[in-house]
Chain A
Amino acid sequence: MTELLRIEGLTVAPLAAPGRLLVNNVSFALESGKTICVVGESGSGKSLTALSIMGLLPPALKRMQGHVNFLGQDLATLSNEQMRDIRGKRIGMIFQEPMTSLNPVLTVGYQIGESLTVHLGLSGKSLKTRISQLLEQVGIPAQRAGSYPDELSGGQRQRVMIAMSIACEPAMLIADEPTTALDVTVQAQILDLLDELKQRMNMGMLFITHDFGVVADIADNVAVMFRGEIVEMGSVRDVLEKPQHPYTQALLACVPDVEGKKPLKPIDYAWLNEGAAA
C-alpha cells in the first residue's frame, strides 16, 4: 500500500479578498487502491480542493498556503509543462456534467485518443486498438468510437469520460460528482464500473459527492467538508455510524433513508453558528 497523495494545510482564497478562505487548512492523504470521499453541501469547497490538486484553479482564486504531494513530488513547485505531464497521465479526472465536458464536434473515439497520442505517443493501428479496448472496458461497443457525443445517452457519455480519464492508466483518479446528473440505475452501473476499475488497476480515487448513499457504497475513507474546512474525517464505518461532529450528525439526519422510518431533520444553521462561536 503506497501513499499516493498527501495534502497538507491547503488554503484557497480569492485574490481580491484574501481573508475569505474558501478552502481552509485542508489536509488528508490517499493510498493506492483506496477511495476517499469528500462530502459536503454546495459551496463547502470540495470542488475547489480537487481543482487545486490539479493546479486548475480559476485565475481569480489563489492557493495561499499548503502542499500537495503526489508520489513524493510537490505539485506546487512544478512548471506548467511538468503539470501537463501529470494531468491526464498520472492523475485522471472525471467531471460532473457529461453533457458539457465532451466536445460536440469531435467523435468520442478521437477524444479518447487525444490523451493517448499526447501522453503515450500512440498513433495509427495501436491507437485504434487501444481506443477499442478502452471502450469495451467501460462497456460500450468498440464500433461506437465513430459516434458523436450527441448520439450517446447520458450514461454512455459518462462512460466515455471514464474511458478518457483512465486511458493512460493513471495512478490516481479524481471524480467530481460523476454520477449526479444520471439516473439511479445508471448511477449504480457507473459506481460498480469505477469500483471494478479501481481494483483492477490499483488506482487511488478521490471521489467528490454530496450523496451519503453513494459514500456508503464506494468509500473507504470519508472527509466531511463544511464552509471550507474538513470537520470530520475517518473510515466510512466510523463516520456514517458514529458521527462525532454536530455538522456530520445534522447532515446525516437530513438524508432520507430507504426504509422511511427516520424522521427528516433539516439543518439548523443558527445552532451550528452558535456552536462554532462557542
Chain B
Amino acid sequence: MTDYILTARNLTKTYSQASGKFGFGNSQIRALDNVSISLVAGSTLAVVGESGSGKSTLARCLLQLQPLDSGEVRFQGRDLATLSGADLRMVRRHLQMIFQDPFASLNPRMKVDEIVGEGLLIHKLGSPEERRHKVQQMLQRVGLSAADMLKYPHEFSGGQRQRIGIARALVLEPKVVVCDEPVSALDVSIQAQILLLLKELQQEMALSYIFITHDLRVVRHIADEVVVMHRGQVVEQGSVSDIYNAPQQEYTRNLLRSIPGRKRVADLQPQA
C-alpha cells in the first residue's frame, strides 16, 4: 500500500465577488470545487493550470493559511482543519511553503539570518548559538555564504532571493513543502539551477513537494504525479508519463499543444 503523507478530500472554497453595475451585485466564484489530491511520501506532485484555475488557492488551503468551506486535509493521519491554533502551529513546522515572488516574499527590513532563523525562533528550536549555526549551514547548503547572513534582501538577485526563500522553508526540516510557482519569476538559466537544487534537497532531506506551476516543461522535469486543474476542478490526474503521452481530456491536450516550441518540432519531423 502506498504511503500518503498528505491527503485532501473534497475541498471546496468559494469566494464572493462584487459584480454588476457599480459592484452592487454579488457573484460566487468557486475557486475549489470538490478537489481531492494525495501526495505520496518522498515524491513530487505537480498542480498545473492556467491563472484563475484555483491552484494557488489549493496551496493556501492545504496549509490552512486560508479557511476551507468544506473538506478535510489529513497530514500524517490528522485532520488539519480540526486542530486548534497551538496544535496547528506545531504541525506547520512540517508543512512549509516556497513562494512565487522572491521580491515580495522577504521582509525588506529583516536581515537574512533573521528571515531564515525566524521559524526556529518561533518553534523554540535550539539555543541561540545552535540556531545561528543551523541557519548558516542551511544558507551554505542552498549556495549562499555565511557572510550573506548580515545582508538585507535587496542586496541579492532574484535567484539568490529564491535561495533565501528555500533556506527559510527548509531550515525547519519540514516533511511537506508547497512550492507556489517557485521558478516562474526567474530567467531560464537561474530556473535550471533552482530546479536542480530543489531536486537535490528533496533526496537529501526526504521531502515531499507539492509543486504548483503553469509551465508544463518544468513539470516534466520535476514531477512524479500531475494534477491538471481548470476552473476550480481537477480535470485529470495521473503519472507524468501518462499525462504527457496519453492525455485523456481535451483540456489537457490543449494545454500540451500550447507549449511553445512544439510547432517547429512538428514542422521539422516530416522533413527529417
B-contacting residues of A (Cβ < 8 Å)? 41-42, 154, 183-188, 191, 210-217, 236, 240, 250-251, 254-260, 264-267
Q: Are A258 and B220 in contact (CB under 8 A)?
A: yes
Q: Are B195 and A217 in contact (CB under 8 A)?
A: no
Known pairs A184-B259, A265-B192, A266-B192; A210 contacts B217 (CB<8 A): no
Tell me if B's interface is mostly helix, strand, loop or mixed. Answer: helix
Known pairs A260-B240, A264-B221; A184 contacts B216 (CB<8 A): yes
Q: B244 an interface residue at 8 Å Cβ cutoff? A: yes
Q: Are B258 and A256 in contact (CB under 8 A)?
A: no
- Which residues from B are CB-within-8-Å of A257? 217, 220
B residues 174-200 in Cβ contact with A at 8 Å? 187-193, 195-196
Q: B261 an interface residue at 8 Å Cβ cutoff? A: yes
Distance from A27 Cβ to chain B, minimum over Cβ atoms (Å): 25
- Which residues from A are CB-within-8-Å of B221? 256, 260, 264
CA distance A213 to B220 in the complex (A): 15
Q: List 17 A-B contacts (CB under 8 A).
A: A41-B188, A41-B189, A42-B158, A154-B51, A183-B51, A184-B50, A186-B50, A210-B187, A213-B262, A217-B263, A250-B189, A254-B189, A258-B256, A258-B259, A264-B196, A266-B193, A267-B193
Q: Are B263 and A216 in contact (CB under 8 A)?
A: yes
A-contacting residues of B (Cβ < 8 Å)? 50-51, 158, 187-193, 195-196, 214-218, 220-221, 240, 244, 254-265
Q: Are A185 and B255 in contact (CB under 8 A)?
A: yes
Chain B CB count within 10 A is highest, among A184, A210, A214, A259, for A184
Q: Are A184 and B260 in contact (CB under 8 A)?
A: yes
CA distance A24 to B191 in the complex (A): 26
Distance from B156 Cβ to chain A, minimum over Cβ atoms (Å): 14
User: A-B pairs with CB below 8 Å: how many?
Assistant: 101
- Which residues from A are CB-within-8-Å of B215? 184
- Which residues from B are CB-within-8-Å of A41? 187-190
CA distance A141 to B193 in the complex (A): 44
- Which residues from B are CB-within-8-Å of A42? 158, 187
Q: Are A185 and B189 in contact (CB under 8 A)?
A: no
Distance from B29 Cβ to chain A, minimum over Cβ atoms (Å): 14
- Which residues from A are CB-within-8-Å of B191? 254
Q: Are A266 and B51 in contact (CB under 8 A)?
A: no
Q: Are B196 and A266 in contact (CB under 8 A)?
A: yes
Closest to B254 in A: A185
